[in-house]
Amino acid sequence: MAERWYRNGVIYNLDVRAFQDSNGDGVGDLRGLISRIDYLGRLGVTTLWLSPLHPSPWRDGGYDVSDHYNIDPALGSLGDFAELMNVADERGLRIMLDLVLNHTSDEHPWFTSARTDPRSAHRDWYVWSDQEPPDRDEGMVFPGIQKTTWTYSDQAGAWYHHRFYDFEPDLAIANPDVREELVKIVSFWERLGVSGFRIDAAPFMIECTEPGGDPEHRDFSVLTELRERVSWRRGDVVFLAEANVPNEDLVQFFGDADGAANRLQMLFAFRLNEALMLSLARQDSTAVARALAALPRLPRHGQWATFLRNHDEVDLSHLPESERETVFAAFGPERRHQLYGRGIRRRLATMLGGSRRRLRMAYSLQFTMPGTPVLRYGDEIGMGEDLRLPERDAIRTPMQWSATANAGFSTAAAQDLVRPVIGEGPHSYEEVNVTDQRRVPDSLLMWFERMLHTRHECGEIGVGDHQVLHVQPAHVFAHRADAPGGSIVFLHNLSDRPTRISLPVRPAGDSPPVEVFSDREYPGLDLCDLELDGFGYRWIRLRRSHLRR
């Protein structure tokens, strides 16, 4: 993969149903997304990761898929999808789809056939037990909401396994026929021009599930086969996996048999995300410095995907309890803010108290971490959440385009919207929207545009080696990225206390250092005496090579 387009891109995650409604039925759709494609191009993102858009009963945000080879009629048709691919290609945007392969909806024809006929060809496509499994009350992904991981089907006369809700039965990934079908699904969408797939629940895909079985018994070969089969057809297709596992297990998802990423090219950096949240909560750089230093060395072509706020809850499950409580106290102190005992269901803007300075510093910090940044729709304008909505739907409210009715999302009656718009408080659509921020040069939206376009000129972030620089005071985080194309130092003040620091680095050669991005214009550029405002940030280039990377 000569181009390795994913190394220096910016991924924008959006829910088509909540982005833009084109026909006034209250549900966002593909034609609505097409009408907003120029907004995304101007913003500076390079890849659109679309949350599930397959036919679905929509009991779990579309992750309960009932047909992997089509588009949900409420969102449009395959023809509309083809048109989206055309307009995205014209603007240099790539499309990444959510790939839900661990399970299906219980309304999927495969499962309907499997549970109604023991002789069905699809019976062995799911995981069954004739006896009540001894571990049916263990391993729930949604504790407090989900009661079991095995459910009895009267129609089937057997128990079926489901890592998630009981309406999402798990596929038997060990079945060769299932594996062949997974390849067909990926190949189908790849043939329509899709450039990447976000693999949902990757660790559960490789579990060798059986009643009372060992959850640590895993088979990575399904990931290897999927990558190999698809790569023969199109070499630049990228797989981005959701694998929230300890550091020592991560490299296996990349695959390192020959020193290259021969399974998956990208993984979400969950450990780094937890450390970022902890450092922001403490206003101390120690956690993120340790996490950055502890990141496993990736195989060739491997890449992290960094994020601050994803489409689910802020998952703090791998933090020690005391550290998790620290983040809860800072960003989700109320019970209604928290979810599953491990996470926070708020947007970053509200977690940071609506402080634009702190928001900008936090996103600057994320976008300078090693890897490819992922941005959730609406975060570029500082959207909030609706805690009246259940579970993770709190942050899945319609995009706020303007101060007009329904935030410019839809012309439908308010009660017909797929989800209510945020209509009250400091993060309501009348206070926070694209149209108003477009008119203000110093708005969060305009800042994001400048930041994203600047980052595209800093290829060292995506492909370089990152090193923590030890400076004082502890509320300042300093690190550098070095690559054949140059070297850049990044400074972030996690507190509101202004400070001055001395960097333990010197410019390379005769070129003077150059400030490429900062929270304000700082006078002078003496690396031995650098000023940094409260919640300030500075990107300083030490060296630039004009050779082709």
The CATH number corresponding to 464-544 among 3.30.230.10, 3.30.67.10, 2.60.40.1180, 1.10.287.1770 equals 2.60.40.1180
515 is annotated as an active-site residue: no
Q: What is the DSSP letter of 523?
A: S
368 token code pair: 């300078």
How far from 376 is each of 45, 312, 379, CA to CA, in Å? 11, 10, 6
CATH number of 109-161: 3.90.400.10
* C-alpha triplet 535, 462, 300: angle, nearest 5°: 140
- Assess contact for 425 and 388: CB atoms under 8 A: no
| Range 319-350 burial, b when 16+ CB lie within 10 A, else e | beeebbebbbebbbeeeebbbbebbbbbbbbb
Q: 179: how many CB neighbours lie within 10 A of its CB?
A: 19
User: Got the DSSP string for 411-467?
Assistant: SS-GGGSSS----SSTTSTTTS-HHHHHT-TTSHHHHHHHHHHHHHT-THHHHSEEE
The catalytic position among 15, 106, 170, 200 is 200
> Nearest 5°: phi and psi at 452?
-65, -40
Place of tokens 């949350």: 51
- Assess contact for 525 and 512: CB atoms under 8 A: yes
Q: Helix or strand or coil: residue 100?
A: coil
Q: Is the pTM of this model over 0.85?
A: yes
Distance of CA 48 to the CA centre of its chain: 11
Residue 258 has pLDDT above 60, yes or no: no
Q: What is the pLDDT of residue 261?
A: 62
Q: What is the pLDDT of residue 90?
A: 96
448 token code pair: 């994001």
Task: Kindly indicate the confidence band of residue 179, based on its pLDDT and cuts at 50, 70 and 90.
Answer: very high
379 is annotated as an active-site residue: no
Amino acid in position 510: D
Contacts of 79 (CB under 8 A, 6+ apart): none
Q: What is the pLDDT of residue 308?
A: 95
- Assess contact for 341 and 314: CB atoms under 8 A: no
Contacts of 87 (CB under 8 A, 6+ apart): 34, 37
Q: pLDDT for 262-289, tens place per residue? A: 789 999 999 999 999 999 999 999 999 9
Q: What is the pLDDT of residue 2?
A: 41
Lowest mean pLDDT among 15-19, 297-301, 436-440: 297-301
Place of tokens 């050669």: 509
Contacts of 404 (CB under 8 A, 6+ apart): none
Q: What is the pLDDT of residue 321?
A: 96
3-state helix, strand, coil in the chain (%, to 5): 30, 20, 50
- Give mean pLDDT, residues 445-473: 95
State the SS3 of 276-299.
Answer: HHHHHHHCCCHHHHHHHHHCCCCC
Dist. CA 161–CA 56, nearest whole Å: 20
The catalytic position among 29, 72, 242, 380 is 242
Dist. CA 7–CA 2, nearest whole Å: 11
Choose between 215 and 118: higher pLDDT.
118
Q: What is the pLDDT of residue 228?
A: 86
- Assess contact for 543 and 487: CB atoms under 8 A: yes
Dist. CA 494–CA 350, nearest whole Å: 17
- Give mean pLDDT, residues 372-390: 97
For the chain, give every residue range classified as CATH 3.90.400.10: 109-161
Residue 247 has pLDDT above 90, yes or no: no
* C-alpha triplet 119, 124, 126: angle, nearest 5°: 125
Place of tokens 């010197």: 506
Q: Helix or strand or coil: residue 189?
A: helix
